[in-house]
């Protein structure tokens, strides 16, 4: 049994943890170190629930001191923001893989004063920069402009007259390649300028805190590191029965080179990758057919958003689709014959149809790139190719035990296969190896599909939220706003779109936000930051937005929500206010910022205050 007590001196708090089964531990922490931004709320208040009522304050019913004391200890352990170089190792941190995740981790490690090396067997930037989100955005920028210029009605509504729009395929392809090259060079230069050692070759784990690297055919070098991060990313997943030739049957890696623009192309899979390429190909003149194994298109999106997106992104365009079918065999075009695709019913496995088209793009997701990493040397077995990790990205071995000083981030662990998620995970790991406990809240990480209009989301979909509510015994509400009511959207003649929020009406917690409309990918971050910081609707609804801007779509979304309790401060802020109150009370009572009554009313933390007073 543990308890937490706080005492103060003129310059710091002392957090004392008393245990019946062990020694007493005390940790000093100054007020300016109490920064909880980016920490998942459960890391501080795990197991605590607030009473649900319509009153202006809710009392904290429990407070798990073990996790809180760890966080306070971590915050105080590295107050100067710089770690000392660990002796006895070649590096403080070695990162295997220089994609967006590895790059983000390396930059943060340097900021923390860690001697860092990054191993890359290909080129800096990984999938995102070289074969993914960066070059695809270049192609989508072209498709967006082509789509606008080709829309005669849209242009006439502005009073503009535009001659027939055309494009140079090679010029479009060069734009994508040039962008990837520029970003890749920027990332490489940033690593070099900060003193990160870029080690060229294939890296693998030799044993605890040991890594080897080298090029094929050359001798390998073994180095040691206090901590190791695996950030090897992923590759396109190609189902059995699909023969990829890189010309007529292609993956996203090939499609980004835009070597051809086929008249008719089948896209297998209607997720993010498939939708974005359908936007590109149809804008450049191709006819597209989706082949989707599930019963509906865009299965990963909120169903309501998916239906609206289908009416705008698919139905009016040269796109048809087959749902509930598998492509069991795809044969490339040979000797004048077209690409042949055999379809079967996903449930009965009976033959359904055969398609003969000019090309096929396999957009069935991505598979982790985790072979040849020497995981057997530390007794780690992959699960469906993914490296198992806990919530802190620490690698778990075949016995279910943590492998000391070994972490895995990004696509290789399968938690969230997004470039920015990999970077966030890498930063979280660096915080931990620097002595600060940090748990990343993956529900606060946004995702976006860069079609025209765009789709973005963060948190739970409506079905996921309803399932969670039923399991945990609370109710949910839905708020919606339309782009048709937004001045800026109407000025751009881009009124198609909605924003949708799923939330708890009893306490104002935001469970999920989904946006379909102009610049949705940019608008989602106000919601994702609110979830990350634990901000409640009754707090954020008073934020001011410039007029006229698209951000007012989100402003109206928050304002339209109906929350029964109108007063709320996020748990992290409540806790820091209580500590600030106690600090002022015991050291400079005449300058106390908050009175007892203030804290009872606005923070709802009477239980903790009473504990501090006694």
DSSP one-letter code for 228: E
Number of H helices, E strands in the chain: 20, 26
How large is the C-alpha radius of gyration of the chain? 27
Contact in structure between 221 and 213 (CB atoms under 8 Å): yes
d(CA 597, CA 590) in angstroms, rounded, equals: 16
Contact in structure between 79 and 211 (CB atoms under 8 Å): no
Catalytic position from the list 420, 514, 545, 547? 547
Q: Report the candidate in 7, 32, 226 with the shortest Cα–Cα distance to residue 117.
A: 226
Contact in structure between 202 and 216 (CB atoms under 8 Å): yes
Largest CA distance in the chain: 90
d(CA 416, CA 429) in angstroms, rounded, equals: 15
Strands (E), 79-150: 91-96, 116-120
State the DSSP string of 5-33: EEEE-SS-EEEEEEETTS--EEEEE-GGG
Cβ neighbours for 366, distance < 8 A, ≥ 6 positions apart: 127, 234, 235, 236, 237, 411, 417
Q: Cβ of 179: how many Cβ atoms within 10 Å?
A: 18
Contact in structure between 542 and 535 (CB atoms under 8 Å): no
Cβ neighbours for 529, distance < 8 A, ≥ 6 positions apart: 444, 535
- Angstrom distances, CA of residue 377 to CA of 207, 208, 397, 427: 5, 8, 10, 26
Q: Where are the alpha helices (DSSP H) in 405-541?
A: 419-433, 462-472, 487-491, 520-523, 525-533, 537-540
d(CA 50, CA 534) in angstroms, rounded, equals: 14
Output the CA angle 63-528-477, nearest 5 degrees.
75
Q: Report the candidate in 251, 292, 286 with the shortest Cα–Cα distance to residue 268.
A: 292
Contact in structure between 478 and 459 (CB atoms under 8 Å): no
d(CA 130, CA 12) in angstroms, rounded, equals: 49
Q: Report the candidate in 463, 498, 449 with the shortest Cα–Cα distance to residue 269.
A: 449
3-state SS class at 117: strand
547 counts as catalytic: yes
- What proportions of the chain, in percent to the nearest 5, are helix, strand and coil? 35, 25, 40
d(CA 385, CA 234) in angstroms, rounded, equals: 10
Question: Where does residue 159 rank: exposed (0-12), middle (13-18), buried (19+ CB within 10 A)?
Answer: exposed
> Parallel, antiparallel, or unpaired: how do β-strands 477-482 and 402-408 relate?
unpaired
d(CA 582, CA 595) in angstroms, rounded, equals: 10
Residues assigned a catalytic role? 547
């Amino acid at each position: 049994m543990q308890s937490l007590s706080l005492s103060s001196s003129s310059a710091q708090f002392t957090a004392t943890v008393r245990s019946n089964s062990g020694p007493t531990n005390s940790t000093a922490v100054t007020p300016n170190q109490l920064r909880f931004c980016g920490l998942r709320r459960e890391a501080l208040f795990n197991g605590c629930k607030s009473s649900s009522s319509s009153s202006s304050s809710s009392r904290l019913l429990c407070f798990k001191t073990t996790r809180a004391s760890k966080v306070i200890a971590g915050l105080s352990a590295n107050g100067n923001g710089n770690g000392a170089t660990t002796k006895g190792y070649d590096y403080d941190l070695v990162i295997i893989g220089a994609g967006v995740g590895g790059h983000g981790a390396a930059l943060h490690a340097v900021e923390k004063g860690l001697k860092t090396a990054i191993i890359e067997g290909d080129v800096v930037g990984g999938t995102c920069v070289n074969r993914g989100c960066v070059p695809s955005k270049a192609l989508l920028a072209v498709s967006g402009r082509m789509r606008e210029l080709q829309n005669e009605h849209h242009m006439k509504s502005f009073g503009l007259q535009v001659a027939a729009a055309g494009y140079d395929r090679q010029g479009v392809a060069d734009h994508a390649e040039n962008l990837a090259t520029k970003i890749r060079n920027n990332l490489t230069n940033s690593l070099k300028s900060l003193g990160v050692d870029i080690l060229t070759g294939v890296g693998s784990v030799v044993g605890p805190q040991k890594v080897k690297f080298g090029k094929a055919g050359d001798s390998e070098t073994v180095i040691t590191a206090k901590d190791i991060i695996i950030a090897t990313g992923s590759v396109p997943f190609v189902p059995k029965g699909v023969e990829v030739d890189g010309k007529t049957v292609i993956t996203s890696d090939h499609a980004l080179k835009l070597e051809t623009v086929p008249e008719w192309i089948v896209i297998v899979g209607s997720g993010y990758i498939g939708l974005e390429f359908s936007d590109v190909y149809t804008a450049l003149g191709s006819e597209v057919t989706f082949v989707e194994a599930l019963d509906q298109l865009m299965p990963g999106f909120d169903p309501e958003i998916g239906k609206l997106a289908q009416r705008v992104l698919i139905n009016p365009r040269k796109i048809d689709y087959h749902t509930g079918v598998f492509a069991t065999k795809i044969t490339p075009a040979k000797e004048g014959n077209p690409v042949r695709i055999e379809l079967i019913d996903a449930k009965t496995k009976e033959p359904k149809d055969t398609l003969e088209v000019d090309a096929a793009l396999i957009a069935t997701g991505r598979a982790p790139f985790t072979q040849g990493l020497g995981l057997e040397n530390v007794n780690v077995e992959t699960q469906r190719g993914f490296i198992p990790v806990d919530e802190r990205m620490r690698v778990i071995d075949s016995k279910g035990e943590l492998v000391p000083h070994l972490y895995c981030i990004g696509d290789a662990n399968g938690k969230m296969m997004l470039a920015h998620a990999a970077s966030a995970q890498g930063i979280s790991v660096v915080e931990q190896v620097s002595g600060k406990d940090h748990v990343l809240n993956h529900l606060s990480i946004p995702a976006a599909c860069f079609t025209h209009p765009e789709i973005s989301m963060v948190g739970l979909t409506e079905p996921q939220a309803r399932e969670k509510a039923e399991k945990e015994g609370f109710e949910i509400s839905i708020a919606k706003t339309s782009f048709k009511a937004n001045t800026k959207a109407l000025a751009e003649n881009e009124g198609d779109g909605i924003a949708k929020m799923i939330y708890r009406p009893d306490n104002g917690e935001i469970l999920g936000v989904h946006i379909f409309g102009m610049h949705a990918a940019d608008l989602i971050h106000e919601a994702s930051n609110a979830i990350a910081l634990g901000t409640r609707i009754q707090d954020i609804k008073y934020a001011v937005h410039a007029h006229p801007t698209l951000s007012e779509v989100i402003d109206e979304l928050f304002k339209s929500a109906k929350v029964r309790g109108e007063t709320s401060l996020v748990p992290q802020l409540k806790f820091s206010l209580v500590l600030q109150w106690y600090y002022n009370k015991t050291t400079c009572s005449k300058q106390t910022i908050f009175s007892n009554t203030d804290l009872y009313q606005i923070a709802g933390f009477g239980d903790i205050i009473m504990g501090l007073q006694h």
